Each structure stands twice: as C-alpha cells, then as structure tokens.
Amino acid sequence: MMISSRTSELRSTASSSATTSSAELGQLCTWIFKGHTGFVSSIAYTPDSLCIVSGSKDNTIRIWNAETGRAVGSPILGHNDQVSAVAITPDGAKIVSGSHDYTVRVWDLKTRDLVHTLEALGYVYSLAISFDNNSRQVIHGSTNRTICMWDLDTGHSIAEQVGELGDTTYFAAAWSADAKKIARSTSDDSVIVSDAANGRLIAGPFQLESHCYSIAVPRGGHQIVCGDGDGRIWIQDSQNSRSAIEPFVAHDSLIWSLAVSSDGKRIVTGSGDDTVCIWDATTSQLIAGPFEDHAGEVYCVDYSPNGKSVASGSGDNTIRVWDVEAAIAEFEEANKSSEPDSTVSNERPEKRPVLSWHLTRHVSILAR
C-alpha cells in the first residue's frame, strides 16, 4: 500500500526534523527537509509522488510528505553504516536500502517493519528494482566487483555475477525493460551490458574517459542517459547505435546523480558544484536552474513520477523540493529579458564512445 496524505497518519517529528515552507523560500523551492545529521546520499519518490524517501550518512532512512512538507514518522533505524542507496518497489509497498554495512534491507513502507536482510559482499553503492511487478527483483552493485540479484518477496539470492573486467567497483546499475539484461558502470571508466540470467557479456565494455556515477533510463524509451566525472551528460540511442545528441558539459564538477522525467523529455542533474539543473533531453538545452541554494555537493536527485517536482539531497544534510513548472517559467522569463552574451561559446565537446541499450529506470548513486 502506498503512503497517502489521505490514508496515512502523518506524524511530525519536530524534535529531530524540521521543514521550511515555500512561503519562506519563494516559489521555486517548495520545501527544505531538515533532520538528517549526515549528508543525504540517496532519495526516491514513491510511485504516487506523495512521499520522498531519503538515505543518509547518519545510517538512517527517513520518509517525507512531499505535499505537506512534514516528516512521516520517526527515522527508520537498522543499518550500521551509511545508507548509500534507496529505492521503492513499483507498487509502492516496500523500501529497499543499501549500505556500507554490507547489507541490503527490505522494509514495509507503511509499517516500517524490516522484511528481509540481504547479505552483500562489499559496500553497496547502487540499487535497481525491475519494473515488472511479476519479477520483483533487485540488483546491487558494490566494491567487490559483483552484481547480486535477489527476489524481493522471498529474500532469496537469485544470482551473482562476477565482473568480467578484473578488480572493479560497480557504481551504477539498471535493468532492461524486460528484466532480462543488466547495464552497469564501473570504476575503470566503462559501461557493460550482461544477460541477467547467466551473466554473459552482451555489449561492451564501452570505454569512457571518466567514471559514470549515475545511469537513468526513460521507461519504455530507447535511450540511456549517463552522467560522468567530467560533468558531462551523454544520451545514446539504442536503436541505431548512435548518440541521440552530442555529449555536453552540464556542470563545472562531476555529476553525482541524474534522473529522467516519466515522459523522457527532461533530465535533472545534481553535481559536485553544489547545483541542480534541469535539461531538455531532446535539445540538451538548460531549461531551469542552476539552483544554487544547497551549501554542499548535491549527491542525489530524483524526478517525481507526476513530473511536477524534483528533489535533491546534499552534503549540507538537507533535502530540497523544487517546483518544476515554476522554475522553467522563471528561466524562460529571465532569458526573454536578457541580451545574448557574445562571449558564451556554444561549442560542443567531442563525441564520446556510444553506449546503446534499452533499459527501464535509474537509481541515483553515491559513490563516496
């Protein structure tokens, strides 16, 4: 059951968390969630867009109501080290969390009860849940060059895939639409695609020039979006093995996390330069931002399933929620009144090697 402001009791935890509202912030940032005592390493919206789940360096998981701005209950405790990744099952019933304590844990979102503890073989850097409600599988990437796969209902291990590329860390992972293939990025600056059933290498390795810390894939689309350590975004088309657009520089520092809107038209990015930006996925043009309100690196972002807001988590221990349409409108208005700057170069960086595969969705990654 998904948490809803109409069906669930919302309990404010004022003693350990606080919220700043849009009335105090202005129109673009609608909420600031404060409560974590360590940097926010991962965030995820529930499928109904009503709540945001966050994981932190403080070893806790928190749930926030994205409409009222209130904390939902008290922090979820159980991990013994940094919570580096969180994800929500497609039915909104469970939270899956990965940690540096070498575990992946499955929680009932409504009751907060621990359902399963899954033993990992290293730091868990990434999580990805298949979209298919029938398969109900989760994979994680970690420091021991292994991708592990579990059944979320039983908690049983389904498979382990040892890296083909030698000693490497898997930073980001994603499922194909049919849950038969897995793509992951590695610490040796490459991306590979393998068969989910037997681990056989299907495509790659695609050699990059820097780490890819986050992979986002529009559901039902034919493109894969990557953010790298040089602050660049790549968008590749899986049907013709070409880049959909030229790779472009989006930030002055590495891209820790990115997410794609449900319709596949927009990309939100969070960076080591402390900013959040929203991009047109077709033209590669900036359409909102940069949002410069965070006082620390932006380690995680997510796009709400209804497309109305984006959320960002930072090294300043806060989560901010941004009104997408208001931000785009303000950006457009500002550009209407601005004269073109002749000193700005429109030059695109050179083309990168192409990754081509059809996947379903991303999970934001913190590799730190």
pLDDT in tens, 114-128: 999 998 877 888 888
Q: Which domain holds residue 42?
A: 34-335
233/277 Cα distance (integer angstroms): 12
**In the predicted model, what is the mean pLDDT of residues 244-251?**
85
267/262 Cα distance (integer angstroms): 10
Closest residue by Cα to residue 317 from 46, 33, 96: 33
Residue 360 pLDDT > 90, yes or no? no
182/254 Cα distance (integer angstroms): 24
Tokens of 333: 């208005």
Least confident residue range of 80-94, 175-189, 318-332: 175-189
CA distance between the termini of the chain: 33
Structural domains of the chain, count:
1
Say what the pLDDT of residue 361 is: 37
Say what the pLDDT of residue 168 is: 55
Domain for residue 357, yes or no? no
CA 50 to chain centre: 17
Q: What is the mean pLDDT of the chain?
A: 79
Say what the pLDDT of residue 12 is: 34
Of the pLDDT bands very low, low, confident and very high (cuts 50, 70, 90), residue 365 is very low
Domain for residue 353, yes or no? no
Contact present, 82 and 56 (Cβ < 8 Å) = yes
Contact present, 222 and 235 (Cβ < 8 Å) = no
CA distances from 281 to 171, 220, 284, 286, 344 (A): 23, 15, 5, 9, 21
Residue 244 pLDDT > 80, yes or no? no
Q: Is the pTM of this model over 0.85?
A: no
321/294 Cα distance (integer angstroms): 11
Domain for residue 254, yes or no? yes
More reliable by pLDDT, 237 or 364: 237
Domain for residue 361, yes or no? no
Domain for residue 170, yes or no? yes
Task: Give whichever of 135-144, 148-157, 313-322 has the largest mean pLDDT.
Answer: 313-322
Of the pLDDT bands very low, low, confident and very high (cuts 50, 70, 90), residue 196 is confident
- In sequence order, which residues have a C-beta less than 8 Å from that of residue 359 and are 6 or more positions away? 174, 175, 176, 177, 181, 183, 215, 217, 224
Say what the pLDDT of residue 327 is: 96
Domain for residue 97, yes or no? yes
Look up the CATH number of the domain holding residue 311: 2.130.10.10
Domain for residue 270, yes or no? yes
Domain for residue 342, yes or no? no
